[in-house]
């Protein structure tokens, strides 16, 4: 489906050209480890399609928002880091990642 290909292409561009240079990572990945929101959404689109995967994509962004809130409350990050150590990250609010700085 053309919308799936466009979405996957956009995610690949983001992962290759923006993500390495922005200096922060997905709050969900920072808190829980594992795949970032962009990787998770890409996987959902590849396996279910953009339209059928809407619910899973929405759930991923909700988990990332909850992770952001937990980090701001002082939850320990993967690798023993803490927000008080100046961890920077991003929470996903819909399709737009929003940067934040903890600490």
Per-domain boundaries in the chain:
2-101
What's the mean pLDDT in 78-94? 53
pLDDT digits (tens, 9 = 90+) for 41-53: 999 999 999 999 9
pLDDT at site 8: 96
For the chain, strand residue ranges (E) read 25-26, 88-93, 96-101
**81 pLDDT more than 80:** no
Polymer length of the chain: 103
């Amino acid at each position: 489906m053309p919308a799936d290909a466009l979405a996957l292409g956009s995610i690949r561009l983001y992962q290759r050209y923006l993500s390495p240079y922005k200096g922060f990572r997905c709050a969900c990945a920072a808190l829980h480890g594992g795949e970032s929101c962009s990787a998770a959404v890409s996987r959902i689109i590849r396996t279910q399609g953009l339209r059928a995967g809407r619910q899973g994509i929405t759930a991923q962004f909700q988990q990332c928002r909850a992770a952001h809130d937990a980090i701001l409350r002082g939850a320990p990050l993967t690798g023993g880091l803490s927000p008080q150590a100046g961890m920077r990250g991003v929470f996903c609010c819909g399709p737009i990642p929003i940067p934040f700085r903890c600490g």
